[in-house]
Amino acid sequence: MPASLQLIGRSVNKNVEIQLGTTILQHALEHKVDFQNLCTRGTCARCRCLIEEGREHLADATEAEHKRLDPEELEEGYRLGCQTVVAQEGIIVARNKTYF
Report the interface residues with ligand FES, using CB under 6 A: 37-40, 42-47, 80-82
3-state helix, strand, coil in the chain (%, to 5): 20, 30, 50
Q: Strands 13-16 and 4-8, how do they pair?
A: antiparallel
Output 13 or 41, the one with its CB closest to ligand FES.
41
Output 61 or 82, the one with its CB closest to ligand FES.
82
Q: Round to whole Å and give the CA distance between 34 and 69.
A: 21
Output 25 or 92, the one with its CB closest to ligand FES.
25
Smallest gap, in angstroms, from Cβ of residue 19 to ligand FES? 18
